[in-house]
Structure 1
């Protein structure tokens, strides 16, 4: 696709925008000044107010229904409508914002009532999160972490049969830009047989894809694998902050608890499956000898096009870098193609026992590392359990995060002939512990 074949908008900043061209149009919740939060759409360097657009009568039919549902302080009602109204709203917006829009003058006349500069907005959590589940579908991460504890047998026998996951804490999901407080907990020092209490000394990030659930299911009614993708409202970036030393002491026998429940950060924009469709791909074939998924987890169409090619990036900005005027340093570049299980398989498995999913539920993919050290999605992997510090261009070293460090995550889809689609940033500064 040449530049002339890309969709063009009368919102000039959308044309060639690296994150938010007319082909993207992700939804979120924003506010400015002392106004109440409301639903909006990112287009170029602006946020389109869905409330203002709906009040101006710019939408009809299913698009009007979707705009109304998405115009409030959360997107839960919009998520609940499902794929049909979501697609209708997207198509209507592409027409309204297109360079030949018949509503162009009317929309321009609304000024900043309709189009607000992103730089003037405060971005909020897109939805009320009822439940949060973190999966473990990044096989390279699972291998790397397993090797630290079981060098000869890094993957437990169930990994290639079942999408592993655990239930996290929804109340501490926070939007990008929210500072994160270093947690306290019990840890067991090497060589000791008694735990101690205090701030985590091995604070880490985890690079993940976030999955927002749309329409849910009734309790006791599983979602079939062939219908699972229809229950996904969209995608975001997710940083599942982790206290590795707390986790090492507490995780047996029931898994993470305080080591994970203090904060998980998400990017503010919900990128639709329709925007990602040009970057959909076949699920990579399983290595020879790996078991095939059980029937409830296998769908030929999902295997043929249920994976995504999304570039994932982690950058680190330390307090010393800020003082020296240095830019953030990239410390990892990975991709969602390293997921061992698809999103549809996660949805199908989560519901197969009868669990009720609801609009606004959030899934994390688990850490998505690649096979090479510069693709590792956590410091636990990049520093080989804290044994090999990473070198920063400020002259500093890191094994784990220090107070004042800011972790910045980005995601972007790139493909020859297609405009790039971005997720915006997921970032957070680490604050000192309180205890």
Structure 2
């Protein structure tokens, strides 16, 4: 249900807001003035308190059912309701906040009780995450990393046939703003034959799209590719922090373990499929010679509109830069168009063996790099494994992240004739190892 740019809100800060205009209306979980975590909707510089609005009697029917399912500081129940309830809630929110709403006066009169300033609130994870799976669908990243280790054969034979993924650690997923403690582990220093133990020396970020699962499937059943989009509750930004030196030693033969499980950061707002509808695109055609997906991964509608045009940005600021007032340094400006597999293909593949997906499960897309150096989604690619350090305006150089560095992920959707929307930020500051 796309909403075009002329639609305006009586919440003044929502009009032209970089991330949260009336056309977005993402859901999240927040606290205000010491309250227990509760559900809310971002609109401009404010958060609409859904539980307080429910008590005020502004919802009825399926929209009321949807809000009731958000209570308790977790959106899992709301995710489980699926698309129909989500659309009903969105339509009611548009009625409430569009200029000329008959409830404008009633809502505004309650002030901070219903619409506290976002800066006065603390954000939490939007759902209890039962499982977290990280995919590897950014083909440019896969090729760039492959070239570092296999210059003559960067992509392994299975990459273009199957959406590659691995199971991550749900217990260490944290919302934006959570500090990142430098991990410790085993590494094999260059020229050594035996590993050593200590703090990671090659800490990195990974720019990813996060996917929240809505309605799941029964164990033993699979989700058909044509139905997969209906099982997606929404999207966020995801930083899959990586300890590259630990990873290099541990990843053979089974892949990442301690090098990824110490923390994964997500932006706290759930951007719905309805808000992103104007920014859907056809999945890019595969290059000549690439294999077509197997039948269980191929759906004409998904190929025609299953991709997104979302601009992705990564910024770096150091402790010295913050102290001297220097602006953040842009590391990356990429786009979700560089995904080799669609989100629906990820869902269909994950469940094809009968694996049970559940409301509140989280997927990561894998690092979303573009073909050029200023579009790379990790320092591993940007610095070519540390061979080409980047120089910052402060005079500092970076091969990998140092203590005190902060990484900021942002996302923005822009299309002529439609209001631009954003995802909010996904931030994390590196602290020294304990």
Q: Does 1:37 align with 2:37?
A: yes
Normalised by the length of structure 2, the TM-score is 0.99
- CA deviation after TM superposition for structure 1 residue 262, in Å: 0.1
User: Offset at 1:33?
Assistant: 2.0
The alignment partner of 2:425 has SS state of strand
Match of 1:422?
422
Q: Residue 116 of structure 2: SS of its match in structure 1?
A: strand
Trace 1:15-414 onto structure 2 (pairs within 5 A). Answer: 15-414=15-414
Q: Are the counterparts in 1 of residues 4 and 417 from structure 2 also a CA contact under 8 Å?
A: no
Relative to structure 2, which stretch is displaced further, 3-12 or 397-406?
A: 3-12
User: Where does structure 1 differ by over 6 angstroms across 4 or more consecutive aligned residues?
Assistant: none
Structure 1: give runs of 5+ residues left out of the alignment: none
- Any gaps of 5 or more consecutive residues in structure 2? none
Question: CA offsets per residue over residues 252-280 of structure 1, 9 Å max, x none?
Answer: 01100000000000001000000000000
Deviation at 1:72, TM superposition (A): 2.6
Q: Distance in 2 between matches of 1:427 and 1:81?
A: 30
The CA deviation at 1:167 is: 0.1
CA contact (8 A) 1:321 1:394 kept: yes
Listed one character per residue, the Cα deviations across residues 214-254 of structure 1 (whole Å, up to 9, x for unaligned) are: 00000000000000000000000000000000000000011
* Contact 2:233–2:272 (CA under 8 A) maintained in structure 1: yes
User: Cα RMSD between the aligned structures?
Assistant: 1.0
Task: After TM superposition, give the deviation of residue 4 of structure 1 in Å.
Answer: 9.3
Equivalences, count:
432
SS of the residue 2:106 aligns to: helix
| C-alpha separation in 1, matches of 2:129 and 2:228 | 19
Any idea what SS the aligned residue of 1:258 has? coil
Checking the alignment, whether the CA contact within 8 Å between 1:19 and 1:412 is kept in structure 2 is yes
The answer to whether the 8 Å contact 1:40/1:71 transfers is no
* Residues in 1 aligned to 2:162 and 2:149: alpha-carbon distance in whole angstroms: 21
- Alpha-carbon distance in 2 for matches of 1:217, 1:413: 31
Report the 3-state secondary structure (helix = DSSP H, G, I; strand = E; otherwise coil) of the residue aligned with 1:86. Answer: helix
Instruction: Give 1:5 deviation, angstroms.
Output: 4.9
TM-fit CA distance, 1:18: 1.2
1:86-116 deviations in whole A, cap 9, x for unaligned?
0100010000111111111111121111101
CA-to-partner distance for each residue in 1:104-132, whole Å, 9 max, x for gaps?
A: 11111211111010010001111111100
Cα distance, 1:6 vs structure 2: 2.1
- Report if the CA contact (8 A) 1:141-1:367 is conserved: yes
Question: Which whole-Å deviations, capped at 9, do the CAs of 1:36-87 have from their partners, x for residues lacking one?
Answer: 1100000000000000111111111110000111233011111111000001
8 Å Cα contact 1:51/1:72 also seen in 2: no
Q: TM-score, normalised by structure 1?
A: 0.98
Quote the Cα distance in structure 2 between the aligned partners of 1:325 and 1:193: 45
